[in-house]
Amino acid sequence: MGAHGSRLPGATGPLQFLWWLPWLGLAIALWLGAWPTQQQRACWMGEWPFESGCPDVPLGSALDNPPDVYQRYLQHNPGDSRALSWLTRALWVAEDPRAAELLPRVLPLAPQHPHVLGMQADRQLQAQDWEAAAKTLVALVELGQAQARPTLLSLMVAPQTQDIVLRQLTPQSLWLDPLLAGLDRATPARALQPFVSAGQELGLLKPATVLGLIDRLKQERAWLDAYTLWVTWKGEVGEGLYNGGFDRPVSRRGFDWEWTTPPAARQAFRIDRVAAAERPGSMLELSLTGRGVLPQPVLSQTLLLPGTHYRLRGQFMTQALSAREGLVWALRCADGGERWAETAPMLETQRRWETFELTFSPPAACGAAVQLRLETTAAWEARAGIVGTVYFDDMSVQRIQAPAAAPRDGATAPRTGAPRR
């Protein structure tokens, strides 16, 4: 017996697998017994991939389930915290007072569940517990819950709650940048300046978000706020033109140079930064194709000029410019309106550099915000189209004393060689 018993585990032929059969049968029985429960739970949690396999099991996360659906489920699964949170939400939507009783039980079980946090925020807002509500809404926004953004924004712009929300900012905050980047049109960017300043100090805002806010402030005609944000972001304090030598890449945003992108089929112009042949650095090349209507302005920059007297100066050169009345640098209020100053027309120079200069005083109506615009001298020529190439360099706008004997406005002086720096 001892010899035969010792050989059974090592038997050869079909008999070697027989001792596994009881264990295999037990595993199959356990699997078949657990399958209905597991399938039901998978359907309930939305994890079952085949909809036809879930005919009678409701989706637990569905928003239109009545409370009794969750109550029946919890009778068999009392420890399911998600089902308990869904029951609380269903009662909350139905304005059932039992929701307020369940919420304290649910919070420790699912402290980061969006539905639970949403109910908590509602209760805190109803109680006017602004500090707690702000903290909860911040958590919801950081969890990606877009529906919490309008409520949080309303607390941010309200004078009585603005400081409360500001206290939620830390160097690790992840909610401010996406909220400001996706700012809706109904919320004035100007009212959020304290958050923008704090976000910049803490390094929370991406460059694209800052540029978007600057452009929004410009659209709201909040010129000083927009320029202050621009200067703070750039880390440069200066008056006059930005990037007048065109040596930096042009962002076409904020208080940098701006121009529209014409349709490819009727591209009336193209603007590029090209290398200056006789010195380091770049200059601006404007290629005029004659196809389509030339937009007005072709090129522009918004300036904040709080002084009284200024001088615009720069260099230009043209090549094969077929324009009867040419181009001018014109000044208008940033809010719009008529030209109130312009240079002499720029015409063909046969690839010789010339200087343009203009002394001007911004009208009080502009409120210090003016726009320098490259336009055609005559509107009809913009419609007719212009062909040729124009180069600009060494442009500046500087504050000056009251000119006793100022040069004639718009005077140009020929010069040869490369522009001076």
- Flag whether pLDDT at 115 surpasses 50: yes
Q: In this structure, what token pair is assigned to residue 302?
A: 């918004």
Q: Of 234, 250, 273, which residue is a domain's last?
A: 234
Residue 251, domain member (yes or no) = no
pLDDT of residue 417: 38
Is the four-CA dihedral 362, 363, 368, 373 of positive or negative sign? negative
Residue 390, domain member (yes or no) = yes
Q: What is the pTM of this model?
A: 0.73
Specify the range with the lowest mean pLDDT, choosing from 48-52, 171-175, 317-321.
48-52
- Flag whether pLDDT at 418 surpasses 80: no
pLDDT of residue 2: 46
Residues 391 and 317 sit within 8 Å (Cβ to Cβ): yes
CA distance 167 to 293: 52
- pLDDT classification of 99: cutoffs 50, 70, 90: confident
Same domain, 178 and 130: yes
Q: What are the b/e assignments for 291-303, b being 16+ CB within 10 Å?
A: eeebeebbbbbbb
pLDDT of residue 4: 46
Same domain, 294 and 206: no
Concatenate the DSSP letters of all residues of 200-215 into one string.
Answer: HHTT---HHHHHHHHH
Q: Indicate the length of the chain as a whole number.
A: 421
CA distance 147 to 185: 16
Give the CATH number, domain containing residue 210: 1.25.40
pLDDT of residue 110: 75
Same domain, 218 and 85: yes
Q: Which domain holds residue 85?
A: 51-234
- pLDDT classification of 24: cutoffs 50, 70, 90: low
User: Mind listing the pLDDT tens digit for each residue in 146-175?
Assistant: 999 999 999 999 999 999 999 999 999 999
Percent of the chain scoring above 90 in pLDDT: 56
Same domain, 199 and 272: no
Mean pLDDT value across residues 346-352:
95
Share the mean pLDDT of the chain: 83
What Å distances lie between residue 112 and 13, 108, 321, CA to CA? Answer: 58, 9, 66
